[in-house]
């Protein structure tokens, strides 16, 4: 009886603490609502004047001071078999790329992420989110290996406009989210862009280098990796 009362007392003490911790979290959607309007005004002004360097600086500032540290909402997607899956179903740190079939990837991008997924799928959940219908996504998924989770949201059928507005229309495509196992956002990055005259080897190296830098510095945690065997980008 005494043990039971003690256990109940501990539970009553712990529950408010856990609830308070949850209340203290800033979620991605809240952070966007707070910081995105000013960013959009300044960003549109920068790009209208073709000040691309300022546009990049504004995006980095939004990420560093407004979005990093917030917690990703439990967005829901569809798997290739049309069954629903939520972001919180992935229990490892998540490397999430939001994409669409009309995005033009650089030549080395898909081979680079395939190779990294082969190496680190035990430590990281690699997720590619397409804003397309099931048929198109299945076709696009053929380029990715089995260690990459390809999911989709069909904007025409999607009942949750919240997902579309927050993940697609807010930051553009493609965008990479680096999320730890507690679903806290550690960084948000744009994809690699380069001139069309790069060889496949150069394109692959640029993409691999950038992706590995993100993975090694944010998602591998305490895992020891050998920088002599990998190329790490210097941002």
How long is the chain? 235
Q: Which domain holds residue 43?
A: 26-70
Which among 70, 88, 105 is the end of a domain?
70
User: Does the pLDDT at position 16 exceed 90?
Assistant: no
The residue that leads in pLDDT, 159 or 82, is 82
Q: How confident is the model at residue 228 (pLDDT cuts 50, 70, 90)?
A: very low
What local confidence, expressed as pLDDT, does residue 148 receive? 98
What local confidence, expressed as pLDDT, does residue 95 receive? 98
Q: Does residue 7 lie within any of the structural domains?
A: no
* Geometric angle at alpha carbon 91, from 86 and 95, rounded to 5°: 80
The residue that leads in pLDDT, 16 or 29, is 29
User: Does the pLDDT at position 227 exceed 70?
Assistant: no
Whether 123 and 89 share a structural domain: yes
Q: Does residue 112 lie within any of the structural domains?
A: yes
Whether 61 and 119 share a structural domain: no
Q: How confident is the model at residue 17 (pLDDT cuts 50, 70, 90)?
A: very low
Whether 110 and 143 share a structural domain: yes
Whether 37 and 120 share a structural domain: no
Whether 98 and 189 share a structural domain: yes
The number of folded domains in the chain is 2
pLDDT digits over 62-108, tens only?
Answer: 999 999 999 999 999 999 999 999 999 999 999 999 999 999 889 99
């Amino acid at each position: 009886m005494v043990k039971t009362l003690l256990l109940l007392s501990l539970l009553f003490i712990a529950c408010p603490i856990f609830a308070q911790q949850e209340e203290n979290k800033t979620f991605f959607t809240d952070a966007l609502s707070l910081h995105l309007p000013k960013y959009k005004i300044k960003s549109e002004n920068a790009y209208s004047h073709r000040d691309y360097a300022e546009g990049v600086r504004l995006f980095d500032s939004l990420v560093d001071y407004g979005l990093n540290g917030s917690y990703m909402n439990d967005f829901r997607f569809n798997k290739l078999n049309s069954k629903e899956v939520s972001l919180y179903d992935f229990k490892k740190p998540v490397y999430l790329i939001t994409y669409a079939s009309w995005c033009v990837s650089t030549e080395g991008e898909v081979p680079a992420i395939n190779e990294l997924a082969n190496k680190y799928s035990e430590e990281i959940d690699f997720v590619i989110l397409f804003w397309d219908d099931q048929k198109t996504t299945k076709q696009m998924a053929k380029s990715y290996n089995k260690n990459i989770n390809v999911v989709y949201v069909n904007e025409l059928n999607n009942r949750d406009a919240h997902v579309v507005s927050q993940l697609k229309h807010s930051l553009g495509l493609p965008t990479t989210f680096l999320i730890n196992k507690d679903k806290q956002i550690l960084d948000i990055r744009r994809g690699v862009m380069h001139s069309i005259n790069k060889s496949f080897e150069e394109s692959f190296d640029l993409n691999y280098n950038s992706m590995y830098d993100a993975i090694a510095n944010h998602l591998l945690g305490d895992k020891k990796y050998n920088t002599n065997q990998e190329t790490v980008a210097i941002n």
